[in-house]
């Protein structure tokens, strides 16, 4: 009887999780949309509790201008009409004050963190918007929980379904800080960055500008944390540009005084 109960639960889980995914998402993911949000909240709390390693700039009057620029750019992408979970996810964004790190990362549920070093490194708002589109895609395409599904598998599914381990989501959230995306997930995030930006004021191939600068400055050999598990930057530049051409997107730059103002507003 117990095994039959498990089979019934598994069938129910398959139906529920299948209904949670958008029609473009063919991957199998044992986590629900609410689980993505809950995992993001847990990771948000974990990062907030460790300011020595993650010196997050508070959203206060002293940093209002900086966050105003960040929100302006992110909201432009979210309003592209191409983000599947725009209304379901939280889309909380944070700046981490560390000029020595060229990185940004996304947690499930739309929690996005950006290092000041990345903003100061880039030459144009288009390039930065490309990176933000890439990170939004990681959350929107649910790459973190796809990876966790592969890592934890059936045992996690049963525990979540049966409620046998109430603290499981917190434990899983902690593992997100060391989670690496697959090459396929990175490629998909690059592609969706183009798809998102194609419907905005930004050059659709903005992400290519970031990788091109890494190549030009000789920083593409794995030095930036952002590239630790990512495909080769040379290939990504070509693939991103090809995707923009395929979709007939504008690649005209929108670089202007607002990007300089954003950079100058940072500590």
Q: Where are the beta strands (DSSP E) in 154-248?
A: none
Residue 135 falls in the annotated catalytic set: yes
Sign of CA dihedral 94, 97, 99, 103: negative
- Residues paired with 112 in a beta bridge: 93, 106
Give the three-class secondary structure for 3: helix
Q: Which long-range contacts (CB under 8 A, 24 or more apart) does 184-189 make?
A: 185/138, 185/141, 185/143, 185/146, 185/147, 186/229, 186/230, 186/231, 187/231, 187/239, 188/137, 188/141, 188/143, 189/134, 189/135, 189/137, 189/138, 189/141, 189/143
DSSP 8-class letter at 256: -
- Nearby residues of 92 by Cβ (< 8 Å), 6 or more positions away: 40, 44, 110, 111, 112
Catalytic residue from among 76, 125, 135, 188: 135
Residue 216 makes CB contacts below 8 A (sequence gap 6+) with none
For tokens 């995914």, name the residue.
21
**Secondary structure letter of residue 32 according to DSSP:** -
Task: Return the sign of the alpha-carbon dihedral for residues 86, 89, 94, 100.
Answer: negative
Tokens of 149: 């599904």
Catalytic residues: 135
């Amino acid at each position: 009887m117990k095994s039959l109960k498990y089979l019934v639960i598994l069938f129910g889980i398959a139906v529920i999780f299948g209904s949670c995914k958008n029609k473009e998402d063919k991957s199998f993911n044992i986590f629900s949309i609410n689980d993505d949000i809950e995992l993001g909240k847990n990771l948000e709390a974990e990062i907030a509790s460790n300011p020595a390693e993650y010196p997050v700039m508070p959203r206060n009057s002293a940093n209002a201008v900086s966050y105003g620029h960040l929100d302006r750019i992110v909201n432009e992408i979210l309003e592209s009409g191409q983000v599947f979970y725009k209304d379901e996810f939280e889309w909380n964004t944070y700046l981490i004050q560390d000029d020595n790190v060229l990185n940004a990362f996304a947690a499930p549920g739309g929690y996005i963190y950006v290092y000041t070093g990345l903003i100061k490194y880039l030459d144009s708002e288009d390039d930065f918007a490309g990176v933000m589109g890439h990170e939004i895609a990681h959350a929107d395409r649910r790459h973190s929980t796809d990876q966790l599904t592969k890592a934890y598998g059936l045992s996690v599914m049963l525990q979540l379904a049966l409620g046998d381990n109430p603290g499981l989501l917190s434990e899983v959230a902690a593992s997100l800080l060391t989670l690496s995306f697959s090459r396929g997930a990175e490629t998909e995030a690059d592609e969706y960055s183009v798809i998102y930006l194609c419907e905005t004021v930004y050059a659709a191939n903005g992400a290519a500008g970031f990788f091109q600068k890494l190549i030009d400055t000789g920083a593409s050999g794995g030095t930036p944390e952002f590239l630790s598990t990512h495909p080769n930057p040379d290939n990504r530049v070509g693939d991103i540009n090809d995707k923009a051409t395929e979709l007939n997107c504008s690649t005209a730059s929108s670089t202007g005084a607002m990007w300089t103002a954003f950079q100058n507003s940072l500590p």
